[in-house]
Amino acid sequence: MNNLNPSLVILAAGMASRYGGAKQTESFGPSGETIMEYSIFDAIKAGFDKVVFIIRDEFAESFKAAMEPKLQGKVKTEYVYQSLDKFRNGRVVPEGRIKPYGTQHALLCCKDVLDAPFAVINADDFYGLDAFKKAYEFLTEAVQDGKYACLGYQLKNTLSEHGAVTRGEIKVDEAGYITGITERKEIFKRDGKAFRVSEGDELEMDLLTPVSMNFFCFTPSFVRWSEGEYDKFLDQHDGDLKSEFLIPEVVDKLISDGEGVVSLVKTDARWFGVTFKEDAEIVRAELEQLTSKGDYPKSLWA
């Protein structure tokens, strides 16, 4: 693998339908920072020197106007646009399709700008400095084509008090390699326990289960490989107007097909994020507390 410095790819093109607003650009920090600014701040501290934002064209102008003055001179930036018509190989976009095609489709839209190993994260999740340090270490020391990593968080630290969430349940072998990631789309908390809904039944889950929060370490070859998988996805699911091509599901396919191996990289960092409107005040309080402790300056970019 080449020795170019790793990039950070941020997934910021989602519609945030459950949240009911543009949470990617909402102010949460003491000086009006977005959640992703804390990720960028931590990533720079860990060693990353380039950020690739995946956004939608309709809010590109306002997004850049908000981010560029803060980041200029601190990190290189690049912008990629996710749109429904990309990588369809002549297929017509189904009538009524509004929802973006998911996180792996967003990553596929970066195919032509990625020339080095990279980490990919969600814009609306707080991952913590330890996670970025471990990702950077993996991307500069252990990564190579066909050998990737997923940052793993304990399920108990990723649940919302305000409704069901989707998490990628991770299975690992004795060597620390992931044997599968299963998207669990209705996980909720009740009486201090975690449950997932499966065909109408509620099944309890171990609170220490490692889960994916969409923080992965890849090389560009993974993105190129996924283009063929997207073609298969469209053959099977294009008629479903809410279907999504998701990173954890593609990683699971890569593993099951023997196309690569994915290490579980455990982090002690705390995770929090916004899925529902009610999560917003919790996130603001968490960031205020971290600022008071001195983990972050009151103004990240001052």
Strand partners, 189: 194
For residue 286, tell me if it sits in a domain.
yes
Res. 19 pLDDT band, cuts 50 70 90: very low
For residue 36, tell me if it sits in a domain.
yes
Res. 223 pLDDT band, cuts 50 70 90: very high
Lookup result for tokens 């091509």: 245
Task: Please list, residue by residue across 229-245, b when 16 or more beta carbons sit within 10 angstroms of its beta carbon and e when fewer do.
Answer: bbeebbeeebeeeebbb
Of 10-14, 72-76, 214-218, 221-225, the range with the lowest mean pLDDT is 10-14
For residue 70, tell me if it sits in a domain.
yes
pLDDT tens per residue across span 251-283: 999 999 999 999 999 988 889 988 778 888 999
User: Rounded to 5 degrees, what angle do the CA atoms 58, 232, 80 make?
Assistant: 25
User: What tokens does 114 get?
Assistant: 């990625």
Res. 22 pLDDT band, cuts 50 70 90: low
For residue 299, tell me if it sits in a domain.
no
Q: Is 76 helix (H, G, I), strand (E, B) or coil?
A: strand
Nearest to 227 by CA among 86, 55, 56: 86
Nearest to 218 by CA among 107, 109, 81: 107
Q: Is residue 297 a contact partner of residue 291, using CB atoms and an 8 Å limit?
A: yes
Please tell me the distance from the alpha carbon of residue 237 to that of residue 216, in angstroms, as a whole number. Answer: 25
pTM of the model: 0.90
Res. 18 pLDDT band, cuts 50 70 90: very low
Tally of domains within the chain: 1
For residue 56, tell me if it sits in a domain.
yes
Judged against a pLDDT cut of 60, whether residue 2 lies above it is answered with no
pLDDT tens per residue across span 117-157: 999 999 999 999 999 999 999 999 988 999 999 999 999 88
Q: What is the span of the domain harbouring residue 213?
A: 7-293
For residue 126, tell me if it sits in a domain.
yes
- For residue 5, what are the CA distances in angstroms to 32, 41, 44, 145? 30, 17, 12, 15
CATH code of the domain in which 216 resides:
3.90.550.10
Please tell me the distance from the alpha carbon of residue 211 to that of residue 220, in angstroms, as a whole number. Answer: 24
For residue 300, tell me if it sits in a domain.
no
Residue 167 amino acid letter: R
Mean pLDDT of the 56-71 span: 92
For residue 1, tell me if it sits in a domain.
no
| pLDDT at residue 302 in the model | 87
Judged against a pLDDT cut of 60, whether residue 15 lies above it is answered with no
